[in-house]
């Protein structure tokens, strides 16, 4: 995660925050390995645990968690 965050497109502040959160979740999930998967899951869940299930960031975190579970169960 040494890359700078991308410039956010012009949008409402709420849309910009959501875009930034999605980038953060993508980068954390992409960088996870077997030794960091649980930490990534905890950090991303803290971001969205109290949001409604239809929240786009929460949906992406749930998808990420499914991938992290697969990563942890690989032999």
**Please, which contacts does 58-63 make with residues 24 or more away whose CB atoms are closer than 8 Å?**
60/22, 60/25, 60/26, 61/25
Is residue 66 in some structural domain?
yes
pLDDT at 2: 65
Is residue 5 in some structural domain?
no
Is residue 34 predicted with pLDDT exceeding 60? yes
Is residue 3 in some structural domain?
no
Is residue 4 predicted with pLDDT exceeding 80? no
Q: Please indicate whether residue 10 or residue 34 has the higher confidence score (pLDDT).
A: 34
Is residue 2 in some structural domain?
no
Q: List the domain range (segments joined by +) for residue 29.
A: 13-73
Question: Where residue 7 falls among pLDDT bands split at 50, 70, 90?
Answer: confident
Number of domains in the chain: 1
Is residue 67 in some structural domain?
yes
Length of the chain: 75
Is residue 6 in some structural domain?
no
């Amino acid at each position: 995660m040494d890359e700078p965050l991308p410039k956010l497109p012009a949008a409402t502040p709420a849309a910009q925050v959501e875009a930034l959160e999605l980038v953060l979740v993508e980068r954390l999930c992409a960088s996870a390995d077997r030794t960091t998967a649980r930490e990534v899951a905890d950090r991303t869940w803290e971001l969205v645990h109290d949001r409604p299930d239809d929240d786009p960031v929460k949906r992406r975190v749930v998808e990420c968690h499914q991938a992290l579970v697969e990563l942890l169960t690989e032999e």
